[in-house]
Amino acid sequence: MSSTNRFVTETTFYVRYAETDAMRIVHHSSYVVWFEEARSDYTRQRGEDYANFERQGLYLAVTEVNARYLKPAIYGQRITIRTWIETLQSRGMTFAYEVLNTDTRETHVTGYTKHICIDGQGAVKRIPEAWKKVGRERVKITQLRQKKQHYNG
Amino acid sequence: MSSTNRFVTETTFYVRYAETDAMRIVHHSSYVVWFEEARSDYTRQRGEDYANFERQGLYLAVTEVNARYLKPAIYGQRITIRTWIETLQSRGMTFAYEVLNTDTRETHVTGYTKHICIDGQGAVKRIPEAWKKVGRERVKITQLRQKKQHYNG
Amino acid sequence: MSSTNRFVTETTFYVRYAETDAMRIVHHSSYVVWFEEARSDYTRQRGEDYANFERQGLYLAVTEVNARYLKPAIYGQRITIRTWIETLQSRGMTFAYEVLNTDTRETHVTGYTKHICIDGQGAVKRIPEAWKKVGRERVKITQLRQKKQHYNG
Amino acid sequence: MSSTNRFVTETTFYVRYAETDAMRIVHHSSYVVWFEEARSDYTRQRGEDYANFERQGLYLAVTEVNARYLKPAIYGQRITIRTWIETLQSRGMTFAYEVLNTDTRETHVTGYTKHICIDGQGAVKRIPEAWKKVGRERVKITQLRQKKQHYNG
């Protein structure tokens, strides 16, 4: 999975104690919650807040989650999640994630989530144009990214 | 807090690994989730399923939670929650809980939750008669409880 | 993914209210927690309680999670998870899951989790023989399963 | 509960979608998790990181949680938690919290948590001097707070 030539957001926060488990590491389900928060933040950084999306009566329902666990994170450390749109179709999209140790930049987890656009009755809908622009503006976005000094592997 | 002369349900389940934290014990917020599941089960055992309550457009919103932690529970053990209605008003009610080790009957946590009856717009409503009966039928219920061999401290 | 000719456990419970989200359905991360509880229950049903496994100083660390979401589950319904061991290596294993509506037998979610056996210092270890037997006893297990009237698709 | 003349930290973050429930509001157990993150942040802001506390083999075990729910928070909004030490004893302490809407400053929830200092074996211990200073430096801290323009009700 490559994030080349795409807009990549970074979301940084501390591990919460409640997110750990009896192995003294972050519980593996916490990363799935973090993926979701990372894509919420992606939409906020892009100016297309997902909360507004829902106010229009549309939802990006999750159809698949995948996470690969490379190195455990622990309480007391900071997490940075790099998030980008991997693919964009007319009715669905795939977000990809790298969960890093903020300080060492080591990768804890990589993953992706697949989504389909539905309305409140569960009917599949086209993704609105304003949202599709998010996936198209690669060059412009790349420039924006460079200004923000985001790493782009 | 006394449960004398009231209907007391028991709800039993295993601790989930995700409910533990880095102290190798059950995270204190998990008991709040368990209280909720215990009162869901209370309504199922009483024949007044809370899911049906919501289908009528009513909700028992939580207005207060209190939990006292006496002895930590751990992964691998079974939990039994004793649940009863402590007080019942026209528009609100209080549930009380004892969280026990199923095998040793030691108390892990005691607590209560206060609730107010609201509709979908948040307006305060009277609790329906069918639900209020739950709090009144003490003697009959006590007999039922004795048949079920529930302890009644 | 096929569960033919393998031991398949079934674990049944009610959806908890805390497991839902603002789409009024079960949050997608809840299924990851349920997978874990389903494999805990698998080990209990097989007589090889995972809690005992940890008491020996061994852990089955999660290296990958995958979940495909077919149909949302909601509060008030019962869930049955069918769980089996998909593959078993000397140092790792894969569990597979089908999350069903207990009453209609519709499939909500399918998924798998991959695991590696480690000790408390994170060193990779061989899975103990007692545990490996779990994956081998297929025919005997199938018979056991039929007695329990588990469906085997 | 008054926060007059005490050091008060503010911790701000977005509501996560996973923290909501089928009432379309933040689930009441989420605030208990937020309390914990708020007091973690309190210790970081005071230069006495709780993660370091645990590295010394000490824990602030939770002995009581109380939360009063005044107004529901929803996905898409920002939360600010005001946190202070309400009481400090030789072996225990009480943290108090106000959970506010960051933009409107309305109060969603108020609460407190009581703690006891224990070691890894569960034996009750004195709180180290460095930590007790946190509760004593009121005047100096108040000045610090005023510089930071924290409200002090």
The ipTM value here is 0.87
pLDDT in tens, B22-75: 999 999 999 999 999 999 999 999 888 899 889 989 999 999 999 999 999 999
Rounded CA-CA distance A67/B127 in Å is 45
Rounded CA-CA distance A69/D113 in Å is 34
pLDDT in tens, B103-128: 999 999 999 999 999 999 999 999 99
Rounded CA-CA distance D69/B61 in Å is 9
Which pLDDT does position A138 carry in this prediction?
55
B chain contacts of residue D72, beta-carbon cutoff 8 Å: 61
Which pLDDT does position C152 carry in this prediction?
31
Q: Name the residue in chain C with its Cα closest to that of A54.
A: C23
Looking up tokens 């108390």, which residue turns up?
B107
Which pLDDT does position C66 carry in this prediction?
98
Which pLDDT does position B140 carry in this prediction?
45
**Has residue D17 got a pLDDT over 60?**
yes
Which pLDDT does position C151 carry in this prediction?
31
pLDDT in tens, chain C (153 residues): 444 568 999 999 999 999 999 999 999 999 999 999 999 999 999 988 899 889 989 999 999 999 999 999 999 999 999 999 999 999 999 999 999 999 999 999 999 999 999 999 999 999 998 888 776 665 344 444 443 433 332
Contact A28 C65 (CB under 8 A): yes
Alpha helices in C1-153 (DSSP H): 28-45, 50-55, 129-136, 138-147
Contact D22 C25 (CB under 8 A): yes
CA distances from B128 to B54, B56, B61, D101 (A): 12, 10, 15, 33
**Has residue A3 got a pLDDT over 70?**
no
Which one is predicted more confidently, A49 or D28? D28
- Extended strands (E) in chain A: 9-14, 58-69, 78-88, 92-101, 107-119
B chain contacts of residue C42, beta-carbon cutoff 8 Å: none
Rounded CA-CA distance C152/C142 in Å is 9
Q: What average pLDDT does this structure show over A5-20?
A: 94
CA distance A18 to chain D (A): 6
Interface contact C15, partner D, CB < 8 A: no
HSE-up of residue A36 (Cα within 13 Å, Cβ side): 25
Rounded CA-CA distance D83/D89 in Å is 18
CA B42 to chain centre: 6
Which pLDDT does position D152 carry in this prediction?
31
User: For residue B34, which phi and psi values (nearest 5 degrees)?
Assistant: -65, -40
Residues contacting D34, CB < 8 A, separation 6+: D79, D81, D97, D99
Amino acid at B100: L
Contact A64 C69 (CB under 8 A): yes
**Which phi-psi region, left, alpha or beta, contains residue D11 (left: φ > 0; alpha: ψ -120 to 50)?**
beta
B chain contacts of residue A22, beta-carbon cutoff 8 Å: 17, 20-22, 24-25, 74-75
Within 10 Å of residue D146's Cβ, how many Cβ atoms? 10
D chain contacts of residue B22, beta-carbon cutoff 8 Å: 54
**Has residue B90 got a pLDDT over 80?**
yes
- Please state the length of chain B: 153
Confidence band, pLDDT 50/70/90 cuts, at residue D6: confident
Q: Which of A14, A33, A75 sits opposite D16 (nearest CB)?
A: A33
Q: Which of C17, C25, C27 sits opposite D18 (nearest CB)?
A: C27
Rounded CA-CA distance C149/B53 in Å is 34
Buried b (16+ CB within 10 A) or exposed e, D68-91: bbeebbbbbeebbbbbbbbeeeee
Residues contacting A65, CB < 8 A, separation 6+: A32, A35, A111, A112, A113, A114, C28, C32, C65, C66, C67, C69
**Has residue A130 got a pLDDT over 90?**
no
Interface contact A84, partner D, CB < 8 A: no
Query: How do the residues of chain D divide into helix, strand and coil, expressed in percent and rounded to 5?
Result: 30, 35, 35
D chain contacts of residue B72, beta-carbon cutoff 8 Å: 61
**Has residue A113 got a pLDDT over 80?**
yes
Answer whether A32's CB lies under 8 Å from A38's CB: no
Rounded CA-CA distance A68/B81 in Å is 36
Q: CA torsion angle for B40, B46, B50, B54 (degrees, to 10)?
A: -170
Rounded CA-CA distance B153/D14 in Å is 44
Which pLDDT does position C92 carry in this prediction?
96
- Determine which of A34-43, A49-58, B22-31, C23-32 has the lowest per-residue pLDDT on average: A49-58
Answer whether C115's CB lies under 8 Å from C62's CB: yes
Which one is predicted more confidently, C73 or A1? C73
- Average pLDDT, whole number, for chain A? 87
Interface contact B40, partner C, CB < 8 A: yes
Amino acid at D52: N
Contact D22 C18 (CB under 8 A): no
Closest among C130, C150, C147, C122 to C47, alpha carbons compared: C130
Confidence band, pLDDT 50/70/90 cuts, at residue D131: confident
pLDDT in tens, A59-92: 999 999 999 999 999 999 999 999 999 999 999 9
- Structure tokens given for D61: 């075990």
- Structure tokens given for C35: 């997978």
Which pLDDT does position B133 carry in this prediction?
79
Rounded CA-CA distance C42/A114 in Å is 29
Within 10 Å of residue B82's Cβ, how many Cβ atoms? 22
